[in-house]
Amino acid sequence: MATPTVPVTPSGPSVHSLSVRERLFISALSLISLVAIFWLDLYAGGNSKGGPLLSAPFWLPYLFVILRVRKRPRSALILAIAMSCAMIMPAIWLLLYSRSWDANAWVQSGLGIIIAAQAALGAAAYWSLRRVAPQKREWQILVANGAYALIALTMLTFFLRQAPNRITENEKGTLWLLQTIHQAASAYAAEFGGVYPAHLTALGTSAGDDKPSCTAAGLLSLAVSPSDPDTFESRGWGGEYIFEYEPGAPKTTASGCTGVGNFQLRARPLVYRKTGFRSFLMDGGGPIHATIENRPARPDDPVLQPPK
């Protein structure tokens, strides 16, 4: 009598298709990623030509994951893993970058959602991939999706490298403004008998349509308050410094204009190490002195070569 054969069950994890719950979970995370990337581009880059279509290479793959996850689950899971690996580090970098610029809370929240979704999507897709039956010519799927993710990562890295540094831009803007004020003060001295303005307000214009005078020369418009005519703050892109004008000894010209024989103009970061490292000093002679210490610049600090 022949001995009946017993089927041998292979050891290790069972191979099966994705369950409904797994498909819904992968689709939901992909949809969250798609919407968050699309919305961020629409919100933060709304003034750019093309709008969210420019970010299509980054959100479109998540749509493919959703479309493939039912009939081509393994292809969808491989693409999900590839995109989550490609997107998570740039998203973390962008979140840190946006925090350094004090970006809107909506932008930071959107980036946080993208980061969390990529971490969850990558882990869930990898866990499901281990138990899904392999496909024929799977190496082609791996190469194609891996290459796409690598191209997307390369594009993101290129764009991120072009992003301006907040401190660098602020210091460049501050140096430009120092030189602009110096040019206006020099023009004032040339116009009104060799004296510099007694206060920064003298470089501006009067309330009416009066012609320029030594109290309202109409040479430069600065955000100076009449109650504090020697101090103002430069905020926004390429600014975020405090400017302080220190007039020298009073001097009166033959035409009756009262100004000063010299001046010192100082600029300090609003928040040291966040909006700027260097403090600057400029006087009527023109050279700019700078220090990286957290204090006002002094005349004995090194002279900074003005940018050409």
What does the domain layout of the chain look like in residue ranges?
Answer: 20-161, 166-304
Non-local (6+) Cβ contacts of 91 within 8 A are: 111, 114, 115, 118
- CA 84 – CA 152 distance, rounded (Å): 11
Q: Which of 5-19, 132-146, 279-293 shows the lowest per-residue confidence on average (mean pLDDT)?
A: 5-19
Cβ–Cβ < 8 Å for 90, 160: yes
User: Of the ranges 136-145, 235-244, 248-257, which is most confident?
Assistant: 248-257
SS3 content of the chain, % helix, strand, coil (to 5): 50, 15, 40
Whether residue 208 is predicted with pLDDT greater than 80 in this model: the reply is no
**CB burial class (10 A; 0-12, 13-18, 19+) of residue 202?**
buried
**pLDDT score of 207:** 63
Mean pLDDT of 31-37: 94
* pLDDT tens-digit series, residues 249-299: 999 988 889 999 999 999 999 989 888 899 999 988 878 999 999 999 999
**pLDDT score of 5:** 52
23-35: string of b/e by CB count within 10 Å (b at 16+)? Answer: bebbbebbebbbb
- CA 261 – CA 277 distance, rounded (Å): 31
Mean pLDDT of 8-25: 68
Token digits of residue 305: 């070569």
Token digits of residue 285: 């002679």
The number of beta carbons lying within 10 Å of the beta carbon of residue 140 is 11
| Proportion of the chain above pLDDT 90, given as a percent | 49
Stated as kind and residue range, the H or E segment containing 133 is none
Non-local (6+) Cβ contacts of 33 within 8 A are: 59, 62, 83, 87, 114, 117, 118, 121
Whether residue 14 is predicted with pLDDT greater than 50 in this model: the reply is no
Q: pTM for the whole thing?
A: 0.62
Pure H helices in 45-134: 56-68, 73-100, 105-129
Non-local (6+) Cβ contacts of 144 within 8 A are: none
Mean pLDDT of 172-201: 93
**pLDDT score of 32:** 96
pLDDT confidence tier of residue 46, bands split at 50, 70 and 90: low
- Coil, helix or strand for 121? helix
**pLDDT score of 79:** 94
Longest distance between any two alpha carbons in the chain, whole Å? 133
- CA 135 – CA 138 distance, rounded (Å): 5
Q: Which of 68-77, 83-92, 199-208, 280-289 shows the lowest per-residue confidence on average (mean pLDDT)?
A: 199-208
Whether residue 308 is predicted with pLDDT greater than 50 in this model: the reply is no
| Mean pLDDT for the chain overall | 85
- CA 248 – CA 81 distance, rounded (Å): 66
| Proportion of the chain above pLDDT 70, given as a percent | 87
- CA 222 – CA 203 distance, rounded (Å): 8
User: Of the ranges 34-38, 62-66, 130-134, 143-147, which is most confident?
Assistant: 62-66
